[in-house]
């Protein structure tokens, strides 16, 4: 099978290419890059007036399967991924049951293969059932396909457990990912603590709830000499702590979401849960620091924290409605909206090169011999209509907004899985 | 155009606010005929226990001739199965035109009003707002001083958890009253500061300068939550008592939204003090609520 991506502007920072180039993929791998390639019997993907990049990797999504398939399935989540320009996603372990055994991880991998869309990289739990007490079997999980470990939304309260986990897993290259929120400082918060929460009479979580766990986990990372990744950083202080840790030689990376880059905590006057998310949308000081952190290189990766829920669930009272919302299908546009001055090469680094490197997975470049995973995107404004999402989660604070950039086509292992607004499972094109 | 619903004081323009107070005064002087809301079905929907507010609303509704239905569903029945939208649709279908609602969650009245094709009056939502309480406080202040602009009022105590404080801040600022908030940092975070609203920690320093002081209730659960060390430690700094009464000007007044805890935020002497206006406040409450019902349903415009 041959696929030719033709006429696009190839932006591949690993190869140092930013030029009009055609890319030929054969049997799943890149075989040629050149001007005006014209092989026989290749499937042509027209990339004229668009940008061609190594496949985007979203290192933070929730696919909800197993256990919460009314919110999302691996099939619908990966359809959303490729429609948003992502050739690969790393899925968080807060499923039911949690991704804490090789059997469950293998089943996720099998279902992802059956879906035939984006590559799915499971993130295994750090503790069994994410309960913060007993260690998960890291080597077995890694063998089953886990590319990282995280207890996701529930950080281990017991620092001793986390320290032993990090020390036990230190000889694996697999990174630990921390969702940093102190459950005691956070309390019953539904939004950020600040003038808005005080005015509305809503419980707010201080940025401090994030900062103290970032500090703790970075110190544990240093102690255990374990590579660490801080998920969805939301405060200026977290970034300062990460800079400090790097200056001390700690191997730490971090990501930021589209919503933390775009929105602040002024979205709760209607008391709806559409913008309820963990960590919460912060004030403009933090939001501006995150944007600066992307531009100055402190932030390594852009990740969506795609967290789909049913509309009925999100319509509940603010206190009981679940946290999070869909992100995959708006992310490329939302990042461009938040970071208008970001050079394209840096954009591709944040969405492809760096997340692939952090997770230790193939991709991040379209050099000859690399996987044939391609994201084609264009600066064409469009208006978000969440009703049209492939994700089952049709809730997003971006609904109705006009975004400046969008995914045009997505190729995984040489198979065109998204083009002309349609999602095309792999068996359809290989038949 | 008067507002469809009253969720907080700032749903009213200053003109409407003054008109409501004028109307309330008029109702106090002479009760209106019972046909102002004749036959209008009004539902009192109290998810949270209330004695004074529920009684006051019920009497106000009866005095304007409404068909009054009262229902105390308990906190759990909504949110379990039926959604807010379904509930609103059902109640409108039955024929309810006005819902007076109290709920322990901030924003509940707003969520209900957004789904209900009728009038909603917020009788208290979580720690957010209690607009008719603020209106009756403003009515009491106006009876006392005949003006708002330039008055200096302090609100003392657990501001963070007080919907009365929040609604009073909104109403007082709109009318040009200088507001000072007083309490410990755990119950009065800096984020309350805004134009015209100052934060102070020293009640004794402020008392002699006030036209009115509003004492909020202190609940013991704040100690269990780790926000206060003890009631003694609190009262030593913030209780209104015999000694502090001497610092208060003769022409100042003392307000309390009730229910009060004798011996905590205030002592028995305070309630007996001639400057205390607690009875006037609850008395005014009925007339203010009559005026709000009249404004929302009849859109009574009012020449001031």
- Residue B97 predicted with pLDDT over 60: yes
Q: Does B106 touch chain A (CB under 8 A)?
A: yes
Question: Chain A: nearest CA to B116, how far in angstroms?
Answer: 14
List A12, A265, A286, A305, catalytic entry: A305
pLDDT average, residue stretch B100-104: 96
Three-class DSSP category at A212: helix
Q: What angle do CA A136, A137, A143 make, to 5 degrees?
A: 135
Q: What is the pLDDT of residue B73?
A: 81
- Residue B301 predicted with pLDDT over 80: no
Q: Which pLDDT tens digit goes with each residue over B172-214?
A: 999 999 999 999 999 999 999 999 999 999 999 999 999 999 9
Phi-psi region of A99 (alpha: psi -120 to 50; beta: other; left: phi over 0): beta
Tell which of B105, B162, B222 to mutate to test the A interface (max A CBs under 10 Å). B105
**CB A334 within 8 Å of CB A262:** yes
pLDDT average, residue stretch A116-122: 98
- Residue A197 predicted with pLDDT over 60: yes
Instruction: Write the class of the CATH domain A55-364.
Output: alpha beta
- Residue B300 predicted with pLDDT over 80: no
For the ranges A236-250, A293-307, B70-84, the lowest mean pLDDT is seen at B70-84
Q: Does B108 touch chain A (CB under 8 A)?
A: yes
Three-class DSSP category at A191: strand
What whole-number distance in Å separates Cα of residue B93 and Cα of residue B85? 12
Q: Which pLDDT tens digit goes with each residue over A64-95?
A: 999 999 999 999 999 999 999 999 999 999 99
| Best CA proximity match to A260, nearest among A353, A82, A397 | A397
Residues 301-330 on A with a CB inside 8 Å of B are: 312, 315-320
- Residue B47 predicted with pLDDT over 90: yes
A426 or A290, higher pLDDT = A290
- Residue B69 predicted with pLDDT over 60: yes
- Residue A415 predicted with pLDDT over 60: yes
Domains of chain B: 9-129+282-298 (3.40.50.1370), 131-281 (3.40.50.1370)
Chain mean pLDDT for chain A: 97
Question: Chain A: nearest CA to B162, how far in angstroms?
Answer: 8
Chain B residues with beta carbon closer than 8 angstroms to that of A312: 83
Number of Cβ within 10 Å of residue B119's Cβ equals 23
SS in 3 state form for B1-28?
A: CCCCCECCHHHCCHHHHHHHHHHHHHHH
Q: Which pLDDT tens digit goes with each residue over A280-306?
A: 999 999 999 999 999 999 999 999 999
Q: Does A184 touch chain B (CB under 8 A)?
A: no
Q: What percent of chain B has pLDDT over 90?
A: 88
Chain A residues with beta carbon closer than 8 angstroms to that of B165: none
pLDDT average, residue stretch A137-150: 98
- Residue A236 predicted with pLDDT over 80: yes
**CB A60 within 8 Å of CB A90:** yes
pTM of the model: 0.95
Q: Quick check: B110 and A316 CB within 8 A?
A: no
Q: What is the pLDDT of residue B304?
A: 40
Q: Which pLDDT tens digit goes with each residue over A343-395?
A: 999 999 999 999 999 999 999 999 999 999 999 999 999 999 999 999 999 99
Let me know if A265 is a catalytic residue. no
| Best CA proximity match to B222, nearest among B183, B192, B169 | B183
Number of Cβ within 10 Å of residue A204's Cβ equals 24
Q: Quick check: A271 and B111 CB within 8 A?
A: yes
pLDDT band at A426 (very low <50, low <70, confident <90, very high): confident
Q: What is the pLDDT of residue A427?
A: 64
Q: What is the pLDDT of residue B78?
A: 60
Q: Quick check: B79 and A320 CB within 8 A?
A: yes
Q: Which pLDDT tens digit goes with each residue over A11-60?
A: 999 999 999 999 999 999 999 999 999 998 999 999 999 999 999 999 99
Q: What is the ipTM of this complex?
A: 0.94
What whole-number distance in Å separates Cα of residue B46 and Cα of residue B101? 6
Q: What is the pLDDT of residue A430?
A: 44
Q: Does A270 touch chain B (CB under 8 A)?
A: yes
Chain A residues with beta carbon closer than 8 angstroms to that of B111: 270-272, 317
């Amino acid at each position: 099978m041959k696929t030719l991506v033709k006429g696009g502007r190839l932006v591949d920072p690993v190869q140092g290419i930013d030029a009009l180039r055609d890319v030929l993929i054969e049997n799943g791998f890149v075989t040629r890059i050149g001007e005006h390639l014209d092989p026989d019997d290749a499937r042509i993907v027209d990339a004229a007036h668009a940008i061609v990049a190594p496949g985007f990797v979203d290192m933070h999504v929730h696919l909800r399967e197993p256990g919460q398939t009314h919110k999302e399935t691996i099939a619908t989540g990966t359809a959303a991924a490729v429609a948003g320009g992502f050739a690969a996603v790393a899925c968080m372990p807060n499923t039911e049951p949690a991704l804490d055994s090789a059997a469950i991880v293998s089943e996720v991998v099998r279902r992802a293969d059956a879906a035939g869309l984006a590559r799915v990289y499971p993130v295994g739990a750090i503790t069994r059932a994410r309960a913060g007490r007993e260690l998960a079997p890291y080597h077995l999980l890694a063998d089953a396909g886990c590319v990282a470990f995280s207890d996701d939304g529930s950080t281990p309260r017991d620092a001793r457990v986390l320290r032993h986990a990090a020390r036990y897993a230190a000889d694996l290259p697999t990174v630990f990912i921390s969702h940093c929120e102190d459950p005691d400082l956070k309390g019953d918060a539904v939004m950020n603590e600040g003038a808005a929460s005080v005015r509305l009479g809503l419980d707010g979580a201080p940025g401090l709830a994030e900062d103290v766990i970032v500090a703790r986990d970075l110190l544990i990372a240093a102690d255990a000499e374990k590579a660490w990744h801080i998920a969805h950083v939301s405060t200026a202080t977290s970034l300062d702590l990460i800079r400090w840790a790097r200056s001390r030689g700690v191997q730490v990376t971090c990501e930021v979401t589209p919503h933390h880059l775009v929105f602040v905590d002024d979205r709760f006057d209607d008391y709806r849960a559409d913008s309820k998310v963990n960590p919460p949308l912060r004030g403009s000081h933090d939001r501006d620091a995150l944007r600066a952190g992307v531009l100055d290189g402190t932030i390594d990766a852009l990740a969506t924290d795609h967290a789909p829920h049913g509309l009925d669930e999100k319509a509940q009272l603010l206190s009981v409605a679940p946290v999070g919302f869909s992100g995959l299908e708006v992310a490329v546009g939302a990042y461009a909206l938040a970071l208008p001055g970001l050079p394209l090469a840096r954009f591709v680094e944040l969405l492809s090169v760096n997340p692939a490197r952090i997770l230790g997975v193939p991709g991040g470049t379209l050099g000859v011999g690399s996987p044939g995973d391609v994201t084609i995107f264009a600066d064409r404004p469009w208006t978000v209509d969440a009703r049209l999402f492939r994700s089952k989660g049709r809730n997003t604070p971006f609904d109705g907004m006009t975004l400046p950039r969008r995914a045009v086509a997505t190729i995984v292992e040489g198979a065109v899985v998204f083009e002309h607004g349609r999602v095309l499972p792999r068996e359809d094109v290989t038949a | 155009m008067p507002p469809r619903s009253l969720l907080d004081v700032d749903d009213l323009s200053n003109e409407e606010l003054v008109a409501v107070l004028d109307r309330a005064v008029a109702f106090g002087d002479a009760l209106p005929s019972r046909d102002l809301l004749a036959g209008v079905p009004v539902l009192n929907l109290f998810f949270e226990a209330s004695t004074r507010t529920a009684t006051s609303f019920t009497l106000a509704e009866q005095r304007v001739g409404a068909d009054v239905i009262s229902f105390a569903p308990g906190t759990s029945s909504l949110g379990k199965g039926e959604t807010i939208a379904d509930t609103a649709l059902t109640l409108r279908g039955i024929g309810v035109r006005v819902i007076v609602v109290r709920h322990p969650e901030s924003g509940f009245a707003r969520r209900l009003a957004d789904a209900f094709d009728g009038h909603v009056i917020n009788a208290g939502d979580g720690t957010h707002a209690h607009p008719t309480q603020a209106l009756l406080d403003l009515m009491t202040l106006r009876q006392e001083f005949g003006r708002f602009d330039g008055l200096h009022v302090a609100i003392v105590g657990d501001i963070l958890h007080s919907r009365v404080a929040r609604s009073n801040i909104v109403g007082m600022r709109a009318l040009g009253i200088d507001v000072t908030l007083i309490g410990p940092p755990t119950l009065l975070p800096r984020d309350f500061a805004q134009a015209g609203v100052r934060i102070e920690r020293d009640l004794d320093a402020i008392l002699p300068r006030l036209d009115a002081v509003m004492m909020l209730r202190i609940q013991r659960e704040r100690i269990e939550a780790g926000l206060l060390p003890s009631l003694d430690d609190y009262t030593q700094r913030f209780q209104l008592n015999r000694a502090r009464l001497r610092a208060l000007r003769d022409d100042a007044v003392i307000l309390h939204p009730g229910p009060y805890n004798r011996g905590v935020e205030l002592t028995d002497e305070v309630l007996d003090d001639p400057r205390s206006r607690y009875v006037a406040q609850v008395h005014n409450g009925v007339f203010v609520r009559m005026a709000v019902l009249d404004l929302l349903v009849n859109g009574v415009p009012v020449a001031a």
